[in-house]
Amino acid sequence: MARSKSSHRWLREHFSDPYVKKAQAEGLRSRAAFKLEELLERDRLLRPGMVVVDLGAAPGGWSQMVRRALGDRGRVIALDILDMPPIAGVEFLHGDFREAEALSRLEAALAGEPVDLVLSDMAPNMTGVSAVDQPASMYLVELARDFADAHLKPGGAFLVKLFMGAGFDDYVRELRKRYDKVAIRKPKASRSRSPEVYALATGKRAR
């Protein structure tokens, strides 16, 4: 089947993208790593010895970045519905976060250990139909928020990808009830035409 004009345009943009080239040069698995790098440096989110959970981790760019930043200390636990080749020092769980079985395995891996930082770069398979894509996206971020509610230690941080649209304002409002500070970030590596932004919630309040 011949590729569409939009597919050809995406391929041209992808292979000429400076962040794609930089990721390849630095041995990183995705350009998305630089979105996280900017946020980590700006907000100083990582310290040695932290426990970090990476939801929607594949292909592994964020987990790589966190593992490098933590060095030999701390834990990185990654989960994705897609398989992910191993990364040294990263514990990977293959499963669908929407399913109870995957959540149970993630909780078993933590074994009651409180989490310092929850990352969620999860997104549904986009159809291009906003009325379908936005509710699917909001469902994922609500699951991620619930996980952070249950497992993030007081004072911990939650970084989640959101798409502007229905439910966005209510979601951010709910985060503000749970955390001392909530900021909306648009990293430089995030394509300008993309409706994605990142909500960074810090200082989780004790329940």
Tell me which residue has tokens 């769980």: 93
At 70, which amino acid appears?
A: L
Whether residue 96 is annotated as binding a ligand: the answer is: yes
Distance from C-alpha of 114 to C-alpha of 155, rounded to nearest angstrom: 11
Asked whether residue 180 is marked as a ligand-binding residue, the answer is no
Count how many residues are written for the chain: 207
Q: Which two tokens stand for residue 152?
A: 């993030």
Annotated binding residue 17: no
Query: In 3-state terms, what secondary structure has residue 93?
Result: strand
| 111 three-class SS | coil
**What is the C-alpha to C-alpha distance for residues 182 and 202, in angstroms, rounded to an integer?**
6
Report the amino acid identity of residue 27. Answer: G
80 annotated among ligand-binding-site residues:
yes
Give the sheet arrangement for strand 90-94, strand by strand. Answer: 90-94, 75-80, 51-55, 115-120, 152-163, 196-204, 179-185
How far apart (Å, rounded) are the C-alpha atoms in residues 133 and 95? 21
Q: Of residues 21, 161, 177, 188, which has the active-site annotation?
A: 161
Beta-sheet strands, E only, within 88-135: 90-94, 115-120
Is 83 marked as a binding-site residue? Answer: no
- Cβ atoms of residues 162 and 197 within 8 Å: yes
Active site residue 5: no
Q: Binding site: residue ranges?
A: 60, 62, 80, 96, 121
- Catalytic site positions: 161
Q: Binding site for S-adenosyl-L-methionine: residue ranges?
A: 60, 62, 80, 96, 121
